[in-house]
Each structure stands twice: as C-alpha cells, then as structure tokens.
Amino acid sequence: MERDQIRRAWDEIARTYAERRNPDGSDAALIEDLLADCPPEPMVIDIGCGDGARTLANLPAGSVGVDLSRAGLQLAADTVPSAALVQADMASLPVAENTADAMTAYHAVFHVPRSDHPTVYREFARVLKPGGRLLMTLPTGRFETVRNGWMGGTMFFSTPGRKRTLEQLAEAGFEIVDTRTVTDPLGTDSEFVFADNTGG
C-alpha cells in the first residue's frame, strides 16, 4: 500500500480501533520505566499516537503526538487536550534535530514499508537528543501483507523481522538497553525494546 492508502485506511478505522483497544495493560506500564530515566520535565514524542489513550495520555503534559491519520489526531485532541499534535509521516518528521529526551513508538513502525524502516530509525535518532531513549514495539516475524477485515477495514503490515530490526536500530546509532515481553492493547503479547541514541 502507498502512504496515502495507509493514511486513508487509518482514517477509516481510527474510531473502531480506539473503541476496541483496552486502555490498560502491561505495555502501558513500560512508560513509567522510560520516564524514570528521563530528566525532569522531559520532551517526549509519541510516534503513531492514534487516539492517544494508550500511550500519549500516560506521558507528561505538553508531549507531542505524531500520527499519519487526521482522524486519529482528532480523537487524540479530545483524549489528551494538553498534548501538541502533529500530522506527519514518521519517515520525515517535521521536528528539529536533538529535540526529544524520549520517544515512544507503540505498534507503529510495522505499518510502514520495511524498505523504509532504516530511514524511520535515522529520523528517530535525528530527533532524539544524544542519550535520548526510544521505547518501541519489536516485530515477531518477517512479513509484508495487507490484512482485509482488520478492525473492519484494510491495513498494511511490514517488517524485516526481529533480528534485522535490532540490527537496523544499531545501524541508525541506537544502543539496545533492554527488551521485554508484555501484554499489548488487543490482549496478546508483544515484545518492546528500550534503546538509547548514541548520537553517532
């Protein structure tokens, strides 16, 4: 799927996705550990924020939510009125370099074509300050597919696999700190990675 097709797909299912996601779960608790290693009053960017209930709502006031979907951001504006919201492609973030102390990307990167993942991770590294921390979902397998009927619509999924994802993060300048498997919003288990931007 092309970027515009992916954006339209998210616009169509944004409300259904928000209604079906459980706002609780152990993956949300990872944010506490992320923030514990941040400076006071950190600047945090949430990539693929959607309606904001799962991740952005648990971040400090004034955090930035980025999403490709206008419909998702409209929901987030109601859910997290204190957040700054930006409609953008994660492969080309309209954010200055060395801006963020931390960044979250929950269930987000695998909706971008896997050929573009290295560009996405370089963007994350560019926007994060040296030493800034990324908290991101890791893929469980290697695939590229369109799922019809997903959340009542159609959605694109693409990943080079866990091992290659970790390699791409390292190539973009990230040092892997930890990985954890926790419960995701739809009641299954997902693995997450904490990675620090080495600035190099």
Q: What is the mean pLDDT of residues 94-115?
A: 96
pLDDT tens-digit profile of 159-197?
999 999 999 999 999 999 999 998 766 667 889 999 999
Going 56 to 57 to 58 to 59, the CA torsion angle's sign is positive
How many structural domains comprise the chain?
A: 1
Per-residue pLDDT for 33 more than 70? Answer: yes
% of the chain beyond a pLDDT of 90: 76
Residue numbers of the domain that contains 57: 3-197
Per-residue pLDDT for 23 more than 70? Answer: no
Q: What is the pTM of this model?
A: 0.94
Instruction: Quickly state the pLDDT bin for 157 (edges 50, 70, 90).
Output: very high
pLDDT computed for residue 187 by the predictor: 64
DSSP string, 5-24: HHHHHHHHHHHHHHHHS-S-
pLDDT computed for residue 18 by the predictor: 85
Give the separation between CA 27 and CA 24, rounded to whole angstroms. Answer: 8
Averaged pLDDT of the chain: 92
Per-residue pLDDT for 108 more than 70? Answer: yes
Strands 128-138 and 100-105: parallel
What are the beta bridge partners of residue 9? none
* Structure letter (DSSP) for residue 58: G
By C-alpha distance, which of 46, 51, 47 is closest to 20? 51
% of the chain beyond a pLDDT of 70: 95
pLDDT computed for residue 25 by the predictor: 66
pLDDT computed for residue 185 by the predictor: 60
Per-residue pLDDT for 136 more than 90? Answer: yes
pLDDT tens-digit profile of 48-58?
999 998 899 99
pLDDT computed for residue 27 by the predictor: 78
